[in-house]
Structure 1
Amino acid sequence: MSGEAEIVRDILSNARRVVKTEPLRDGVILVNGADLKPEPISWLWHGWLARSKLHILAGAPGQGKTTIALAFAATVTTGGRWPDGSRCPAGNVLVWSGEDDPADTLLPRLMAAGADPKRVFFVTGSRIGGEVQSFDPARDMVALTEQCERIGSVRLIIVDPIVSAVTGDSHKNTETRRALQPLVDLAASMDAALVGITHFSKGGQGGDPTQRVVGSIAFTAVARVVLVAAKVKGEEGDDRRVLARSKSNIGPDEGGFEYHLEQSEPVPGIYASYAAWGDAVSGSARELLTDPNEDDDGKSSALDAAADFIQQVLGQDVVPSKSVYEEAKEAGIAKRTLERASDALGVKKRRGDGAKWYWSLPKSANSANNANVENMADLPTPINQDGGECA
């Protein structure tokens, strides 16, 4: 063999040794902090809508939550200006609504807000085996991701209501977190802001608005920003609507904007509402959304909020007391307030096997109790208050 041939052979042999690698092993993936580069939050609307993050937009019925979300969509599709005057880069918008029809409700509202309809895409279902079926995020998220990649430049995703994404019990923390994750992953892969719309629970006037979001605390725990919309009385007795930040883990968590719901005729004979933005306002969401004319020291409001929380968490189920206490702590509800509210509701507290305690609502508070509640009769007789309760 010539010298040149030996050199070539050695080069090829070394190349094969370099290319040859061990197969990737299954297991936990760790990333060393030194290998990461700090990155700032990427904002769609600075301080309000962050790319790749989940936002909750909550409020009582009739406050224009969907109309506000569509105002966001209009700004994105046209590269318009946000209520604070800052410019938004133009992009596409994805809308999944389980409550409003795209043709007779959503599109007219988008047009009234000045949106570019060519940049808005509605999720209306899935085709399985040639048949059209309802969109199921647990089944169809991969296909939806492929569609978003085909569309390109999806910068805003609206889910109305966000509870539509939860196939299980939306009042259970673990089930809700698991159901929301595919949507959060979709937003992250698209570098889009995800806005989920939901309602306020009854009561709680004067309390923390974040605690009034219907469903599991997971909705507001997973969300990086919680926005609330409400109509309140001004100091002079006039009505005003306010969009405020109730929570933010990634930016300012106070301040807001006044808004008005106006009517227009985007197409002859078709009327639709749109959000007209007003002045910026300062203060926390709790301060902004509290009626200044209401005589309330806040104690009754906190108790009402805790009672509503208990009814949401327990529902028709028998729930371990430890879970109730943990979720209440995440929601910012004091243990003493929680226990006072449970006493007011007549919550049944029974000890099961070992030292575990369970809570359930009495039939008077929930006439639709299921078989789980009936099974409470099989548990031992509760120990009196002097015996204490194991949380």
Structure 2
Amino acid sequence: MKAWDTSEFPDGVRLLRAAECEPQPVQWLWRHWLPRGAITILAGMPGTGKTTLALSIASIVSSAACWPDGSQCIKPGNIVIWSGEDEIEATLLPRLIAMGADLERVHFVAQIQDKGSFREFDPSTDIRQLMMKIAEIGGAAVVIIDPIINAVSGDAHRANDVRRDLHDLVVLARSNAAVIGISHFSKSGGKVNQHPLDRVIGSQAFAALARVVLVAARRSNSDERLFARAKNNLGPDGGGFEYSVEHLVIPHAVETSKVVWGDSVDGDAQSILADAERSVNLSSRLDEAKDFLCGVLIGSGRVPSTKILELATEAGHSTSTINRAKAELRVRAEKDGNGGWFWRL
């Protein structure tokens, strides 16, 4: 936006003529998944590994590694992490080490000096001071706030309170940072056909304010997990990735965990979550879906995923069940040069 020379004008509202502006493309850290300059919400039920997912993203950015879809993070960037739930040395640091983060680029928000004494950092009041510290280290590519509800000093179930109290985080994001706010699903969530955005704890303003909402789920009675895109105001939504949380031991006999990314998953977030959290026995439906997939793929080489899902819908199979069948059959998902996805046995 054009900078104003305030000395030329009296006090009052400034209007910027559209003809004087230039359109700017969205800056993505991870194309169509994680935008810079905006707030992204990562939400899910307990036990899905939301914090570990966020740390996986941080590790990829800090070391300019590859994203789950195989694309390359263009350049490494600084990471700033505030956690109100996990210890740095016992939990956060070991996970970052396990996932190959460049520790020189990772910064934890610890205490804050206030009137000559130290106290705990409070994201509901101290974000502006954090912005100044981030400027001192040359900026940040990713800022993680865990949980984001702690950034609200008022009533987290009132839209006006949420929008007012998250204003400083919005300003922080405008410094070209991808702000990731970790949140939980409400305990009353999980109703049939309930949209994932309606399950994010607190006011709907959290999901409304975020430009992207990512969700995590864990299959009932299983260690399999799913990561999906529930909202994207800046690009396509839907789709996701399988992942698992692997437990391991790093040097100094420290037990920790890391995210291991799996295959891509097609479908909308609502159906992906519904399938993952369904408690009834779906073995017969799954077997039928596996038979269907084999019938489509055997002898066909690779088939566009959109075509498979279209045929599956016509045959009465849900997208989520087809994705489970795909995982069990170890169907490979491949991306062509034009960005389309194909499946092959």
TM-score (norm 2): 0.75
Bigger drift between 202-211 and 126-135 goes to: 202-211
Aligned-partner SS, 2:85: coil
Amino acid of the residue matched to residue 81 of structure 1? C
Q: 254, 265, 281: which is aligned to 1:270?
A: 254
Amino acid of the residue matched to residue 134 of structure 1? E
| 1:51 Cα offset (Å) | 0.2
Q: Unmatched 5+ residue regions in structure 2?
A: 1-5, 281-345
Pairing 1:226–2:213 present: yes
Pairing 1:43–2:43 present: no
Decide which structure has the larger Cα Rg and report it.
Answer: 1
Contact 1:206/1:289 (8 A) holds in 2: no
Structure 1 residues 293 and 77: alpha-carbon distance in aligned structure 2, compared to 1, 3 A threshold: closer
How many residues align? The count is 273
Contact 1:204/1:212 (8 A) holds in 2: no
Aligned twin of 1:324: none
Q: What is the root-mean-square deviation of aligned Cα atoms in Å?
A: 2.1
Contact 2:228/2:238 (8 A) holds in 1: yes
Amino acid of the residue matched to residue 164 of structure 1? N
Higher relative helix content: 1
* Partner Cα separation in structure 1 for residue 278 and residue 243 of structure 2: 22
Q: 107, 112, 118: which is aligned to 2:104?
A: 118
Greater than 6 Å deviation, 4+ residue runs:
none
Q: 79, 83, 87: which is aligned to 1:97?
A: 83
Matched ranges for 1:9-48 at <5 A? 24-48=9-33
Q: Deviations over 1:31-60 (max 9, x none)?
A: 111111111110000010000110000000
Aligned twin of 2:44: 59
Pairing 1:84–2:66 present: no
* Partner Cα separation in structure 1 for residue 186 and residue 277 of structure 2: 21
Aligned twin of 1:147: 133
Matched ranges for 1:227-306 at <5 A? 227-232=214-219, 240-291=224-275, 294=278
| 1:145 Cα offset (Å) | 1.5
Contact 2:128/2:168 (8 A) holds in 1: no
* Partner Cα separation in structure 2 for residue 205 and residue 81 of structure 1: 36
Q: 164, 175, 182: which is aligned to 2:150?
A: 164
| 1:24 Cα offset (Å) | 3.4
Aligned-partner SS, 1:290: helix
Contact 2:214/2:228 (8 A) holds in 1: yes
Contact 1:45/1:82 (8 A) holds in 2: yes
* Partner Cα separation in structure 2 for residue 213 and residue 259 of structure 1: 21
TM-score (norm 1): 0.66
* Partner Cα separation in structure 2 for residue 140 and residue 225 of structure 1: 24
Q: 205, 211, 218: which is aligned to 2:198?
A: 211
Amino acid of the residue matched to residue 42 of structure 1? Q
* Partner Cα separation in structure 1 for residue 133 and residue 194 of structure 2: 42
* Partner Cα separation in structure 2 for residue 290 and residue 90 of structure 1: 36
* Partner Cα separation in structure 2 for residue 294 and residue 144 of structure 1: 42
Aligned-partner SS, 1:259: strand
Aligned twin of 1:336: none
Aligned twin of 2:159: 173
Q: Unmatched 5+ residue regions in structure 1?
A: 1-20, 297-391
| 1:239 Cα offset (Å) | 5.3
